[in-house]
Structure 1
């Protein structure tokens, strides 16, 4: 009897040990993990950012969590993040293969696809196509100014009224999809229409360029296909729409909460653009404070706080720890954006964070809003141009005022894949100089 009970307890203990989530040898430290659940109970699923910061204080800039059976490394601070994403960029450039979202996207596109020939070819193609269509050049600026006319007209219709900003602002290129299947259906219809109306060799947009590339590769064993075209198009839409629109929403909120910053931006705009019909992207070189304000909005807004999950492509090391191949890695970008010692005012909204002692614009190394390394945002140049032209144009024409009956501005963001402001209203007034 005693032997049977002893064997039963030994058996139960053995099963628990097998079920218990374990960290690999010389792995970054972290809180004790429960069987099956791992460290799930250590995190608030509604907003884990504060939990990540709490764990950083206890375990350091590289620590680990175990979610179910899966070990994960959280990177904090400029040094740890850059060592992984830049110094050892190829080792940390992977994407997880076993996430639920992979079943939805079927591992296509450029955002969530793992490294390999298909990802490299498509990223290279997307970059070259965007540049050919003027990314960072005056031709793209003309397109943005065209879209801006719709924003100006919408705001002029709402002058001196409370204008609601809840992602319904008609921003350039913005298009909301109800869900991924709807998005794919829409993209397929868009693609079919392009195939009927295109003029081969005379592309109108990214889709036409991709179809021309398919013609060139006809008969080859190529990673290019219509399914990949749909996935890549959706990646560009999703990545470029939500982030830019949320940055603009954050900018308006902070400009109303800090009216002296708005006034200084407008003073600089008026001085530089005096006698000019419209702003050009080259004007940014003469607007250090405006540039500083935009970058400060990106820094304090921390729009994509955890980047996109990385994974290691091979066994590697980081900060003296051993990181096995296939480990999930989360760069906590917000820790670099508010890191003590990297910023003059790490916890305040203050454009002086991006101005040197001479009042010139400069960008600290800890500014990692677009991530870094092989997986850094491929639309960074387009986003910079959009933000500058949109904000300068609107601040030149309008004054944005927090409604008197709305209480104090709530700067607490809503957590999600991206951080966004809570819905708010603003008064739009035509400036006297206009």
Structure 2
């Protein structure tokens, strides 16, 4: 009797989960989901999103556990969602690993709205005031460039892992702007370690498990310690700034944020210490990880294409004409170098799936009905390698960014960090 009741209970649960996994009317098509597991067993490990695109078209759906998700492929579908109907697709999901850690605060994982706009405006203004686009920042970048060259020259003829060199250089720049620390190797290592770990976590199997299995989210999972460690580290730095800063005379991003908190007091929920911690993480991640990975990709591609190296060197020698180093203004006279940099970003594809979005209201996309609150995943890889959008979609070739006259042009399909006004593409 007990066995029959247990079996009946299991059947009822499976039926409930099966019904829960049914697609709404006129929802994008996709593989049939299984209770609990969703569509994970329908994915080809080699290139799952490309295979599903061939089968179901540019807009299709998956189930991450019991959560429905719409995957957007190709330039036209992506542009319709993230530009034409930007407001409809500007939400952020509140049930993923990264959104739970950030509590949907900060810049990258916060919902689009007045608070997000205020923080973004403040952050961009502060970054500009502390050197972004100014001579000060240019000098700092040139200094880090000399550091990279020195490290590469020291290793000439020996095996080399350039990842740490690029990571340290990128981190040194962003740490100076955000934390006011210069050339502090121990501090850089202290800050890099948790950010690197978090980057690996949110793009690895733990994130997939966390997002697809709600029942484990309240368990004391081992990886949560790295999130707490970073939070405590930044809190200590904020407290240190509180003791040493002179109000109205900010030396870095943290000082500026503390000045802003003094002005607004407790009347503006858009600005708080919690928001500041997540903003710092966003800036740190955006300014370190994507930059260092793009530099690493540039090194690898140029090593494999020596003829492109030669063309770069010829243009640099011609434009500099005896000068020791390039300046930011020289870019206007270096169309080939600009093309190489942008082609590196296209092929490096450092943010292949953009950030997760969700719909803010019931909407439509290419004739399909997308209910409010649906998880949306823009597949930027499909845009950056889409045939018909690029001259050479599947190879590293600067001609993708040059017209017939050799002038630099930026195709519409160049979306390395997503089309929304996120901090990464804006700063």
Instruction: Name the TM-score, length of structure 2 as normaliser.
Output: 0.82
Structure 2 CA distance for aligned equivalents of residues 9 and 224 of structure 1: 53
Alignment map for 1:7-406 (pairs within 5 Å): 16-20=14-18, 21-43=21-43, 50-169=47-166, 170-173=168-171, 175-178=191-194, 179-374=226-421, 376=422, 378-380=423-425, 382=427
Q: Deviation of residue 316 (structure 1)?
A: 0.9
8 Å CA contact retained: 2:94, 2:100: no
More displaced stretch, 266-275 vs 140-149: 140-149
Deviations 1:107-140 (CA, angstroms, capped at 9, x unpaired): 2211112233332221221122112223233332
Structure 1 CA distance for aligned equivalents of residues 318 and 78 of structure 2: 40
Q: Secondary structure at the match of 1:177?
A: helix
Q: Secondary structure at the match of 2:235?
A: helix
Structure 2 CA distance for aligned equivalents of residues 381 and 373 of structure 1: 9
8 Å CA contact retained: 2:92, 2:104: no
Query: Cα gap change, 1:41/1:139 in structure 2, threshold over 3 Å: closer, same or farther?
Result: same
Q: Secondary structure at the match of 2:160?
A: strand
8 Å CA contact retained: 1:39, 1:65: yes
8 Å CA contact retained: 2:302, 2:308: yes
Q: Deviation of residue 222 (structure 1)?
A: 3.1
Q: Deviation of residue 104 (structure 1)?
A: 2.1
Q: Secondary structure at the match of 2:98?
A: helix
8 Å CA contact retained: 2:170, 2:287: no
Deviations 1:155-174 (CA, angstroms, capped at 9, x unpaired): 33333433322334432325
Structural RMSD (CA): 2.3
Q: Deviation of residue 30 (structure 1)?
A: 0.7
Deviations 1:275-332 (CA, angstroms, capped at 9, x unpaired): 2232111111111111111111111111110011111111111111110111000000
More displaced stretch, 160-169 vs 259-268: 160-169
Q: Secondary structure at the match of 2:62?
A: strand
Q: Deviation of residue 12 (structure 1)?
A: 8.3
Structure 1 CA distance for aligned equivalents of residues 326 and 231 of structure 2: 37
8 Å CA contact retained: 1:148, 1:172: no
8 Å CA contact retained: 1:91, 1:314: yes
Aligned to 1:412: none
Q: Deviation of residue 219 (structure 1)?
A: 4.4
8 Å CA contact retained: 1:97, 1:114: no
Structure 2 CA distance for aligned equivalents of residues 341 and 250 of structure 1: 24
Segments of structure 1 that go 5 or more residues without pairing to the other structure are 383-434
Instruction: Name the TM-score, length of structure 1 as normaliser.
Output: 0.80
Segments of structure 2 that go 5 or more residues without pairing to the other structure are 173-190, 195-225
8 Å CA contact retained: 2:151, 2:165: no
Q: Secondary structure at the match of 2:88?
A: coil
8 Å CA contact retained: 2:107, 2:119: yes
Structure 2 CA distance for aligned equivalents of residues 348 and 278 of structure 1: 30
Q: Deviation of residue 256 (structure 1)?
A: 0.4
Structure 2 CA distance for aligned equivalents of residues 162 and 219 of structure 1: 55
Query: Cα gap change, 1:9/1:144 in structure 2, threshold over 3 Å: closer, same or farther?
Result: closer
8 Å CA contact retained: 1:135, 1:381: no
Q: Deviation of residue 17 (structure 1)?
A: 4.0
Q: Which is helix-richer, 1 or 2?
A: 2
